[in-house]
Amino acid sequence: MELRGAGFAANKKLMGPLEQMARKHIEHQITDPELRARVTPDYTIGCKRVLFSSDYYPALQRPDVDLVTDPITGITETGVMTADGAEHSADVIIYATGFKVVESVTSLNVAGREGRKLTPESLEAYRGVTVSGFPNLFLVLGPNTGLGHTSVVFMIETQIQHIMSCLRILARDHGDVIEVNEAAQRDYNVELQRRLRDSVWNAGGCHSWYLDADGVNRTIWPGFTFEYWARTRRARRSAYTVTPG
């Protein structure tokens, strides 16, 4: 799973064999050419979350299942309206529109120095863990620590190590307040967004919940998890300011 990071982040052309395998999988599981065309993505594999399943496509071919791909234009008292003018009756509607990853942080309603707020349009962090202007605030699964290719649990464990490292700096320096420097946070995020620019998550030809309303990727870590571990597990003292309470 980790190997896919090379294609997702480094060079999208490396995803060719995996995309071909996925297309063969669809061809093998769906016999109807029209249905096959409707479920085949028109973007580079990995641009959205990759589905690993052996029973999803067969389920779409059941006699009691209809696949509707026309855009939804409205919800009525009895069902769902689509762009072709049809109303599809429904007893239950399940919304599966993706995750609100930015809002999961900004909705914390935390105030920093001088009443500063975490806002969706400017949300960023250093290593995805600490935020300039918010002393003693530590995030787990903060901005740009999500993954599209392997286990996020490892990222969480690494972030906990980073937080513990910050606490050890506080204890060693006999401080009560620790805060990441604004310059360190800015440099980190400039480089991070540069790496994301040509990644499959940004340039794969789709719109996903990885991107915010302005098309900025505030969700994904643009590389391998072992790289994040190596760069993040120990906090750099030079990146932080420690002061008495």
By CB neighbour count within 10 A (0-12 exposed, 13-18 middle, 19+ buried), where does 225 fall?
buried
| Interval 137-160: pLDDT, tens | 999 999 999 998 888 999 999 999
pLDDT-derived band at 103, boundaries 50, 70, 90: confident
Q: What is the pLDDT of residue 50?
A: 85
Residues 6 or more apart whose Cβ sits within 8 Å of residue 120: 102, 103, 106, 212, 213
CB atoms within 10 A of CB 39: 15
Domain ranges of the chain: 4-67, 68-96, 103-243
Query: What average pLDDT does the chain have?
Result: 91
Q: What average pLDDT does range 84-107 have in this prediction?
A: 88
| Interval 44-74: pLDDT, tens | 998 988 888 889 999 999 999 999 999 999 9
- 2-6, 100-104, 171-175: which has the minimum mean pLDDT? 2-6
Q: CA-CA distance, 184 to 74, in Å (whole number)?
A: 46
Specify the fold of 103-243. FAD/NAD(P)-binding domain (3.50.50)
Q: CA-CA distance, 222 to 226, in Å (whole number)?
A: 12
pTM of the entire predicted model: 0.86
Positive/negative CA dihedral, 180, 181, 182, 186: negative
Q: CA-CA distance, 137 to 117, in Å (whole number)?
A: 12
Q: What average pLDDT does range 197-201 have in this prediction?
A: 90
